[in-house]
Structure 1
């Protein structure tokens, strides 16, 4: 689960970079739920992984949380359109 959430977070981060391009800001509407699913996967990974092997799940959770926060800020600045 940790590796899946890490890969999911990296994909969401790359998608976030593309959403910074003007006229592609609408991608944030799809990016936020995508990253939320990744954060849920990371949380499940944290619950069911041994304490010494939680690094990937924690990293995936942080990446997905950053993407969600930046996506929400980007949508609030652009009024949800751009």
Structure 2
């Protein structure tokens, strides 16, 4: 059950990360980051790794894209 909740949390974060890759919408990555971290914590409590891995990938994408030009652009 926690794995499904972690996957759903990751999908919500993905809704913010995808448009955050577009120039001038980089600030969306900073909104997605806390959501993905909560999903990561939930995924770590689960016995399966799928939700945790999805949120780890989203966190890496959000940090890399958010750090480019300070996350403003």
Partner of 2:9: 8
Any gaps of 5 or more consecutive residues in structure 1? Answer: 47-53
In structure 2, stretches of 5+ residues that fail to align are none
Partner residue of 2:18?
17
Who is 2:40 aligned against? 39
What is the match of residue 74 of structure 1? 65
**Aligned pairs, how many?**
72
4+ residue runs of structure 1 moved beyond 4 angstroms?
none
Contact 2:29 2:62 in 1 (8 A): yes
What TM-score results when the alignment is normalised by the length of structure 2? Answer: 0.86
Q: CA RMSD in A?
A: 1.2
Note the C-alpha offset of 1:22.
Answer: 2.0
